Amino acid sequence: MKKEASKISLNYVTLKTTKSRIDKGLLAVPVSLIDIFPKTKNKIYLVDESENVEAKSFTPYNSSSRECRIGGLKKFYDKYNVQNGDELVIQVLDEDKFRLLPEKYFQNLFISSIEEFEKSEDEIAADEKLNIISRISNTDKSQILKNEFVRLSKTQIQRRISKIIERVEVKENVPISLRKVLASIYLGKCQVSDFTFLMKNGNAFFEIHHIDPSKGNHFKNLLVVSANVHRQFTYANVEQNFDNDGWLRKVKFNDESYNVFQAIDNLPNIFEKEVHI
């Protein structure tokens, strides 16, 4: 087993195929992965991206063949045109249920789902698309939002878009998808004062402050703040100190200094895949 950088904002596991096994419609499971498979069952169930379930023959490692393998994959290999050396993403859904997808197909599915999530126009749509991403990636929704925070934090800060509505220039709002990421990361707590409160609907109240009003919706330019702190950014004498990576670290309102909590400090900033051969 070796680890490589992941091309998507997700940690996952792959198995590398070989021509001899593809020709026989088999998938040999490396010893490094046998612990995630049953020890005695002669059947396992593969679940595809549409949640269709199909039983497959399964040989545990402790059998006479001394090889852990999944059989009956000829149609699967033909459907996805799997070639020698291709990697298959393996996900454990239950003790005898697994999802198996070609890596390139899985990556495209994940990326397109993230793009749809970013286009969400309201909370309901965002939640629905987040559920789809969670199912596709077999990953908890809160972890997906943390991963998105890290990924988007590495992108370039763009200028903030303005549009004219009835001859009035209005700055773009923070997209619903980014609000959900920030809500999950900070739980509504102000990054300056640590204050929040629960609204009548049970959600934590927070506002989002653009540090530089001319710049766009990048996490380095956005702060989760209380209403009081937001007004101080607008009306007080403000001094701001940034680190070398562009994260705001300290702010002074008039003569009072505050540290700014940045969640990026507590999150892993790389994603890896495990390649099992």
Where do the domains of the chain lie?
2-103, 107-153, 162-265
What per-residue confidence (pLDDT) applies to 64?
60
* pLDDT tens sequence across 85-94: 999 999 999 9
Separation CA 59–CA 38 (nearest Å): 9
pLDDT, tens digit (0-9, with 9 covering 90-100), for 155-206: 999 888 776 666 555 455 899 999 999 999 999 999 999 999 999 999 999 9
pLDDT per residue over 216-234, tens digit each? 899 999 999 999 999 999 9
Token look-up 């899985």 returns 106
Secondary structure of residue 131 in the 3-state scheme? helix
Report angle CA 40, 89, 91 to the nearest 5 degrees: 50
Which CA distances in Å does 243 have to 240, 247, 261, 263? 10, 6, 13, 14
- With H, G, I as helix, E, B as strand and everything else as coil, classify residue 123: helix
Contact 275, 157 (CB under 8 A): no
CA atoms within 13 A on the CB side of 219: 26
148-166 b/e (C-beta count within 10 Å ≥ 16 → b): bbbbbbeeeeeebeeeeee
First to last CA, the chain: 6
Pairing of strands 256-259, 248-253: antiparallel
pTM of the entire structure?
0.83
Decide: helix, strand or coil at residue 220. Answer: helix
Residue range 2-103, CATH number: 2.40.330.10
Note the pLDDT tens digit of each residue in 48-91: 988 999 999 998 877 666 678 899 999 999 999 999 999 999 99
Strand order in the sheet with 2-5: 2-5, 272-276, 12-16, 87-92, 97-102, 43-47, 53-59, 68-70, 27-29
Q: What is the pLDDT of residues 98-125, one digit of tens each?
A: 999 999 999 999 999 999 999 999 999 9
The reported pLDDT for the residue numbered 217 is 93
Q: How far is CA 218 from CA 91, 111, 146, 180, 268, in A?
A: 32, 19, 15, 14, 18
Cα 82 to chain centroid, rounded: 26
